[in-house]
Chain A
Amino acid sequence: MAMGQYIWQDREIRFDAQPRLLENRSGEFIIDSINSVEDTKGNNGMRGSLVVTNLRILWIAHKGKHNLSIGLKTVLNINIRKAKSKLRGPTQALYIMTQDANSRFEFIFTSLVKNSPRLFTTVQSVSRAYKTSSLYRDLKLRGSIIRDQQLILLPLEQVYNKIPDAWNLSSDQGNLGQFFITNVRLVWHANLAQNFNVSVPYMQMKHVRIRNSKFGKALVVETQPRCGGYILGFRLHPPERLETILKEICSLHKIFSVNPIFGVDFHEEESAPSLDALKVARVDDDVEIVDGDTNDAFAAYYAEGSNGSDNKEITFDNDIGLACEKLPDGWNMSSLWNVAGG
Chain B
Amino acid sequence: MSLFKAKDYWSTSLSASDEYDSCGITVAHLTTLDPEQPQIITGSFEGVLRLHLPSEEASPRDLLLEEDLGSPILSVKVGNFVPTNTSDPPTVGLAVLHPKRLVVYKVDNSTPTLSLNKCYEHQLGVHGKHFTAANMCSGGFGSDPSREQICVQSLDSRIQIFDLDVLSFTRRLPNALLPGPIVYHEKLDSFITFNSLLDVECYSFSVLASAQDTLDSDDEEDKLKNLKSPNHPSNTSVSASKKVQASWATNLGESIVEIKIGSLEGVSKDIVCLGTKCIFALNDLGSIKWSKFLGYDTIGFTLFDNPKNPGSNNIIVSGADGNLNVYRSQRLIWKVKLSDPNSFSIATFVNDFDCCKGMITTLSDDCRLSVSYLGTESEKEGQVVKEGKEINYDDVDEEHRKLLGIIRASQSDTRIEPREKIIMRTQVPKRLDEPDQVHTFDGGFEHLADSAVRMPCIDGSEGVLRITAKLFLTYTGTGGLKDVTVTLNLPDSVMTKDTCIKIDKLKGGSATPMIIDIVFFANASVLPTIDTVGVTAMFFTASGEPRTGTTSIKLPLFFFCRLQPATKEPTFKFKLDTNKQPIMLAGLFDDMMDVLTDDERSAVDASGTANYVLTFRYWIADPNGVPYNATVLLSKTSGRYRVQSHHMPSLWFISSSLCSRLESYFLASEGPDSGLELTYNEPHLPLQDFYNCIDSHFISRQNLVHLLSLQNDCAHQFRTIQKRLLLRFKDRNAVPLNQLDVLLSETYHRLLEISSQVESAQWTITSTSNSLSCTTHLILLFIKLRYNLLPSSFTVLSSHLSPHISSTWEESTDLNMMTLLRTVLAKKNQDQTGNLNNNLVMQKDTNKLKKHISIVVDRIHKGASLSAD
Using a CB–CB distance below 8 Å, which chain A residues touch chain B?
41-46, 76-77, 79, 86, 95, 97, 106, 128, 131-132, 138-144, 147, 170-171, 175, 190, 192-193, 195-196, 227-228, 299-305, 307, 314-327, 333-334, 336-337, 340-342
Contact = CB atoms under 8 A, between A and B. Distances in A.
Contacts of B16: 128, 131-132
Given A144-B68, A319-B308, A171 B112 contact: yes
Given A46-B387, A143-B63, A337-B334, A320 B314 contact: yes
Given A192-B111, A196-B113, A323-B357, A340 B3 contact: yes
B4 interface: yes
Given A320-B333, A321-B358, A97 B341 contact: yes
Nearest to A333: B334
A256 B63 CA distance: 27
Interface in B357-391: 357-360, 366, 368, 373-380, 382-385, 387
B385 A317 contact: no
Contacts of B709: none
Counting from the closest, the 8 A-B pairs by CB-CB distance are A305-B380, A196-B113, A324-B374, A323-B373, A302-B382, A131-B16, A322-B358, A323-B356
B502 to A, nearest CB: 43
A314 B355 contact: yes
Contact of B378 (A131, A139, A190, A340): A340
A302 B383 CA distance: 7
Given A300-B383, A320-B314, A325-B377, 11 more contacts: A171-B112, A195-B113, A307-B380, A314-B9, A314-B355, A316-B358, A318-B308, A321-B314, A325-B376, A333-B376, A340-B378
A144 B358 CA distance: 31
B340 A132 contact: no
Interface residues of B, number: 61
Contacts of A44: 387
Contacts of A190: 111-113
B384 to A, nearest CB: 6
Interface in B1-52: 3-5, 7, 9, 13, 15-17, 48
Nearest to B332: A342
Contacts of B482: none
Contacts of B307: 316, 318-319, 321
A132 B46 CA distance: 14
Contacts of B333: 319-320, 334, 337, 342
Nearest to B339: A104
Contacts of B314: 320-321
Nearest to B47: A144
Interface string B46-60: 001000000000011
A195 B384 CA distance: 48
A309 to B, nearest CB: 13
Contacts of B377: 305, 307, 325
A141 B356 CA distance: 27
Nearest to A97: B342
A43 B59 contact: no
Contact of A303 (B341, B356, B387): B341
Nearest to B353: A323
Nearest to A192: B111
B326 A322 contact: yes
B66 interface: yes
B245 interface: no
A227 B387 CA distance: 37
Given A195-B65, A195-B113, A336-B376, A323 B385 contact: no
Nearest to A318: B307
5 contacts: A144-B48, A305-B377, A316-B356, A319-B308, A322-B358
Contact of B60 (A79, A141, A302): A141
Contacts, number: 166
Given A128-B16, A322-B373, A193 B113 contact: yes
Contacts of A141: 60-61, 63
A144 B380 CA distance: 41
Interface of B: 3-5, 7, 9, 13, 15-17, 48, 59-61, 63-68, 111-115, 304-308, 314, 326, 332-335, 340-343, 350, 355-360, 366, 368, 373-380, 382-385, 387
A24 B812 CA distance: 96
B374 A301 contact: no
Contacts of B358: 316-317, 320-323
B316 to A, nearest CB: 8
A228 B61 contact: yes
A142 B50 CA distance: 10
B725 to A, nearest CB: 80
Contacts of B385: 42, 299-300
B647 to A, nearest CB: 74
Contact of A340 (B4, B63, B357, B366): B4
Contacts of A322: 304, 326, 334, 350, 358-360, 373-374
Contacts of B383: 299-300, 302
B305 A193 contact: no
Contacts of A143: 63, 66
Nearest to A319: B308
A147 B67 CA distance: 10
A320 B4 CA distance: 15
Contacts of B343: 77
Contact of B66 (A76, A144, A300, A340): A144
Contacts of B308: 318-319, 321
B648 to A, nearest CB: 71
Contacts of B374: 317, 320, 322-325, 333
Contacts of B65: 142, 195
Contact of A77 (B59, B111, B115, B340): B340
B60 A325 contact: no
Given A334-B333, A342-B332, A316 B357 contact: yes
A324 B342 contact: no
Given A45-B387, A141-B63, A300-B383, A196 B373 contact: no
B112 to A, nearest CB: 5
Nearest to B51: A142
Nearest to A334: B333
B360 A323 contact: yes
Given A193-B115, A322-B350, A340-B4, A304 B326 contact: no
A324 B324 CA distance: 14
B115 A195 contact: yes
A79 B342 contact: yes
B15 A132 contact: yes
Nearest to B357: A316
A43 B382 CA distance: 14
Nearest to B63: A142
A336 B60 CA distance: 37
A175 B112 contact: yes
Nearest to B314: A321
Contacts of A41: 384
B391 to A, nearest CB: 13
Contacts of B376: 324-327, 333, 336
A144 B67 contact: yes
Nearest to A311: B7
A192 B39 CA distance: 24
Contact of B306 (A321, A323, A340): A321
A97 B733 CA distance: 105
Contacts of B340: 76-77, 97
A193 to B, nearest CB: 5
A227 B113 contact: no
A196 B374 CA distance: 36
B67 A195 contact: yes
A77 B366 contact: yes
A229 B130 CA distance: 52
A320 B308 CA distance: 8
Contacts of B373: 314, 322-325
> Which of A171, A301, A336 has the most CB atoms of chain B within a 10 A radius of its CB?
A336
